[in-house]
Structure 1
Amino acid sequence: MLSRKEIASLIVDRLSIEKHSLKRSFFDNKNEIGFFYVDDLLPENLVKDIYQKFPKLSEAKLKKNLRESKYVAYQMNKYHPLLEEVIYAFQEENVVEIISEICDLRNILPDKNLYAGGLSLMQKDNYLNPHLDNSHDKDRQLWRVLNLLFYVTPNWKLENGGNLELWNNGLKDKPIEIESKFNRLVVMATHQKSWHSVNKVLVNDVRRCVSNYYFSDKPILENDNFHVTTFRGRPSQNIKDILLKIDNNLRSSVRKFFKKGIRENPHQYKK
């Protein structure tokens, strides 16, 4: 089994080859939602092994409510050690450095606690409504600035659904749809305008993803403000949108009085 440092070296080698084109991709959309993606990130056999080592749905936690329907796994010592190695490979210093260079960001820090990161699994009819990620880390000390999504399900196709959507021009316009393609890494900026979602999975298969967040002592947008994870309805979901706005306001009000919330968010790796 490869170590996280060995996997990190492979990631850096691949990103280095595409570095200039990835930088252009990110800056072409920097004023909206900066993003880039790179295919064939790691050797195919390694990614298939990662896929095969993913936990079963019964071993993951179901998050199902008005906002989302998906499975997550983050207590990594419960699962095959390869999964922890690949997650933390994205947190190795050389990987953080090259991604920071591509996105022209400074003082970027990975999240060893996997706050809202880790593994995600989505089966038929699972989805994520349009949302903004929580603006901060678990201690509300650092700003969330980058979201890394590494897809590992073989033969995943655009028509399967379960694809990332970036609402670069707001929720009234059609989003950019990025296929959750096998062995594809997507990196996107997170700030108060970076609305994104995952459309509904349409097939009897499970979309598997390795996710990480990077943080910084400064937000990407100078005028960014603290916000909880904020959900909205799709353009066709008028009633759901109203209910989600009420939900957002209630949760935001709580955070005005309780800086870290009423209870600690359980979605973090307790070592």
Structure 2
Amino acid sequence: MDLPKKVKIVEVGPRDGLQNEKENVPAEVKIELVNRLSAAGFVNVEAAAFVSPKWVPQMATSREVMDGIARKPGVIYSALTPNMQGFEAALAAKADEVVIFGSASEAFSQRNINCSIAESIARFEPVAKAAKDNGVRLRGSISTAFGCPYQGDVPLDAVADVVARMRDLGCDEIDIADTIGVATPRHTQAVMETAIRAFRIDALSGHFHDTYGQALANIYASLELGISIFHSSVAGLGGCPYAKGATGNIATEDVLYMMNGLGIETGVDLDAVAEAGHYISQFLGRKSSSRAGNALLAKRNG
């Protein structure tokens, strides 16, 4: 089939990217980053997480960030909400979308949250209902859909089961995530085809990590199936906690460069994103992980 003519890129750097940073990133830096990304043309920015600051100290400033950003009309500002307390905080902070999350791996679910997949999804029922009652968009994220650091392979029927559970909760969009970055293109297509049978293709997204350098190839493999929503992180922010020293999220600049080359519309200004990547990388005191971003800046500063 033909590749999609247009895709939505969900920018996850301010939340998924920064949450693993050891050094505290002040609220004003996060606000500036979100504002730069909104200005670059993203229609969906994952900006906050209303989680326990004990477990994720980097996200303790989420309310401050949500209160301080210059909201651009038409942009969805998302927040991660693991429970009702998180949902109430997200609602008070005027999040446009709340994100709930489950795992396709039983071992991962048990090791991380000490309960089964079925139990973990059931815990989100009140959050899902509250989102619907309050007219807030609901996104479901499925981790370890392509492989697990504890059990290895994840069966396709396990992925289908969690997609169906997320669908039945009323999710408007569902992310299929390669948390440890082990997928390759054919495997990606097998998992995505399974998800497509359980949920609307236009509301399924691919969230690929670049641990083994396969993320762009996996995005292309997903495009071939007609998937048209992808997650990425400016400057490649965010490591992979399960693979020491490994890269995490695919860099947004690299995804945009590929989409531009394919003639696929994103609505996002690559140069502005490269600048945003440079801004946050300078603050963190290290080089951006984006090859395209670094090449563009080097060319311009030639």
**TM-score calculated relative to the size of structure 2:** 0.24
**TM-score calculated relative to the size of structure 1:** 0.26
Greater percentage in helix: 2
Greater percentage in strand: 1
